[in-house]
Amino acid sequence: MFNKEVYVGRREELKKLVSDGVIVLFGNNEAPNNYPNNAYYPFRQDSSFLYYFGQKRDGLVGVIDVESCKETLIGDDIDIEDIVWYGSVDSVADMAAQVGVGSSAPMAQLKVIIDEAVAKGRKVHFLPPYRHDTMIQIMDLMGIHPSKQREAASLELIMAVVKMRSVKTPLEIEELERASVIGYKMHTTAMKLIKPGVTEKYIAGQINGIAQSYGSQVSFGTIFSQHGEIMHGNPSMAPLEAGRLVLCDCGGETIEHYCSDNTRTMPVSGKYTQRQLDIYSIVEDCHDLVLGIAKPGVKYFDVHMAVCRLMTERLKELGLMKGDVDEAVAAGAHAMFLPHGLGHMMGMDVHDMEGLGQIYVGFDEETRPNLEQFGTNALRMGRRLQEGFVVTDEPGIYFIPDLIDEWRATGHCAEFLNFDMLETYKDFGGIRLEDDVLITADGCRFLGKDIIPYHPKDVEAFMADN
Ligand code: GLY
Ligand code: MN
């Protein structure tokens, strides 16, 4: 936990951004895995609750009365049964004091507070819930059916939270740097373990353990697969095969729940083939292009488009694409290779604040998403960058056999694609490179004191030495 002034300051700021009413921030509850007493471990608190109330225990709700400024941490103290099985924890009153909250109350009081606000015609602000137990809680408290809760959530509160959480303070950047150290250990361990015959699942399990050893947990389910063409491919029991590529996309979360998210693509045999290098060097140059253009005031949508143009130019040189580069990109032909966006916000959530609504996090009135075009519709972050934003830079080139077949059959973007050559790449897999970018006063830099090797010579040298 940060010191209490951090949380007091954040709630003060939030009260200035929300005009009136009562703000209710739901913490998470334990989530059973296969029976009630076997919950998913480790417990993960809701990020917005953590941001304003700092406490990591399950079963808590934070209430802020915007007009009276009264703040209450709501939750039931644990009983002797819980103490016997899980050990003692601080009382809710102590937890409130630790984060500078003036009062605490048992859970039953929450309905009283909300009923009183509703009776007076005051607004009750809550964020869009994403867990079903929270949805039931909201239904019990306010009578709003889960199917209506996203639209009933407070836009004013969403916008206030997005505004605050988007800009990372120096304290948060330190935490993100710590998360990068965990990510570095995860990735370099994977690189050391890659050998023909070792299973994907074994390596993923080893690096997941690193995330738990040095921090709280993985920042998302580790992607470790020789099928790099599957965007979020789960590690399987398949043994690694010499000659293939293996894609590793993973990150860790610090004890304070700040994330890292990196991707590397390695040759199982320790050396890339020329065919792999031809594609790899395009992804590498697209990845590095971002460092030269991302800075405050620039739209991330335009950075994404610059990457798409460079990728198209280079794929044209290889013979996989053809025609006019600008026309190909305008038609979305590059999405055959890059069906996702260049990146997303990152912070306490690896896709930061995605649960609040991507439209509010990655876009604004000036920069609207293009929801019509395949590929471009998967861009999670398009708006103008500001100092303190942290975004991912994650271009990739994938050869997805089903997508090749589908576009060939329908003739989609046929004037820009060399389908005969694409056929010969159906066994290639996919390459992605990803680093986390901090927007600085006049430019940007990668997070992480040590950058995980990604230039082919560095990857090969690292794999040969370890
Ligand atoms: N690294 C996983 C993702 O960004 O979706
Ligand atoms: Mn990512």
Q: 309 CA distance to ligand 2 centroid (A)?
A: 21
In whole angstroms, how far apart are CA 48 and each of 11, 273, 349? Answer: 11, 46, 10
Angle formed at CA 401 by CA 399 and CA 404, multiple of 5 degrees = 85
- Segment 370-387 shows an average pLDDT of 96
Between CA 332 and CA 341 the distance in angstroms is 12
Q: What is the pLDDT of residues 5-15, one digit of tens each?
A: 999 999 999 99
Confidence (pLDDT) at 466: 86
Residue 222 pLDDT grade (very low, low, confident, very high; cuts 50, 70, 90): very high
Beta carbon of 261 within 6 Å of any ligand 1 atom: yes
Beta carbon of 378 within 6 Å of any ligand 1 atom: no
Confidence (pLDDT) at 268: 98
- Segment 358-382 shows an average pLDDT of 95
Between CA 239 and CA 126 the distance in angstroms is 47
Q: What is the pLDDT of residues 151-202, one digit of tens each?
A: 999 999 999 999 999 999 999 999 999 999 999 999 999 999 999 999 999 9
Does the pLDDT of residue 42 top 90, yes or no? yes
Global pTM reads 0.97
Cβ atoms 145, 139 nearer than 8 A: yes
Tell me what percent of the residues of the chain surpass a pLDDT of 90. Answer: 100
Residue 133 pLDDT grade (very low, low, confident, very high; cuts 50, 70, 90): very high
By mean pLDDT, which of 83-87, 154-158, 235-239 is the weakest?
83-87
Q: 434 CA distance to ligand 2 centroid (A)?
A: 7
Confidence (pLDDT) at 285: 98
For the chain, the distance separating the N- and C-terminal CA atoms, rounded to the nearest angstrom, is: 37
Q: 372 CA distance to ligand 1 centroid (A)?
A: 22
Q: Which of 267, 223, 272 lies closest to 248 in space, CA to CA?
A: 223
- Fold designation for 170-465: Creatine Amidinohydrolase (3.90.230)
- Please give the mean pLDDT across all residues of the chain: 97
Taking the CA of residue 392 as reference, the ligand 1 atom at the shortest distance is 4
Residue 331 pLDDT grade (very low, low, confident, very high; cuts 50, 70, 90): very high
Beta carbon of 349 within 6 Å of any ligand 1 atom: no
Confidence (pLDDT) at 438: 98
Q: Which residue from 187, 207, 232, 354 has its CB within 8 A of the most atoms of ligand 1, so it is best to mutate?
A: 232
Q: What is the pLDDT of residues 307-327, one digit of tens each?
A: 999 999 999 999 999 999 999
Does the pLDDT of residue 332 top 90, yes or no? yes
Tell me what percent of the residues of the chain surpass a pLDDT of 70. Answer: 100
Residue 261 pLDDT grade (very low, low, confident, very high; cuts 50, 70, 90): very high
Q: 229 CA distance to ligand 1 centroid (A)?
A: 14
Confidence (pLDDT) at 174: 98
Q: 262 CA distance to ligand 2 centroid (A)?
A: 7
Q: Which residue from 187, 263, 350 has its CB within 8 A of the most atoms of ligand 1, so it is best to mutate?
A: 350
Domains 4-166 and 170-465 share a fold: no
What residue segments make up the domains of the chain, in order of their start?
4-166, 170-465
The beta-strand segments (E) located in 54-202 are 61-65, 71-74, 103-105, 124-125
Q: Which of 158, 155, 129 lies closest to 144 in space, CA to CA?
A: 129
Residues in the chain: 466
The CATH number fitting domain 4-166, selected from 3.40.1280.10, 3.40.50.10490, 3.40.50.261, 3.40.350.10: 3.40.350.10
Beta carbon of 202 within 6 Å of any ligand 1 atom: no
Beta carbon of 436 within 6 Å of any ligand 1 atom: no
Residue 406 pLDDT grade (very low, low, confident, very high; cuts 50, 70, 90): very high
Question: How many helices and strands, by DSSP H and E, does the chain display?
Answer: 17, 17
The structure tokens listed for 425 are 């790449």
Q: Coil, strand, or helix at residue 440? A: coil
Cβ atoms 217, 211 nearer than 8 A: yes
Angle between helix 456-465 and helix 274-293 axes, rounded to 10 deg: 120
Q: What is the pLDDT of residues 51-61, one digit of tens each?
A: 999 999 999 99
Q: 319 CA distance to ligand 1 centroid (A)?
A: 29
Taking the CA of residue 250 as reference, the ligand 1 atom at the shortest distance is 1
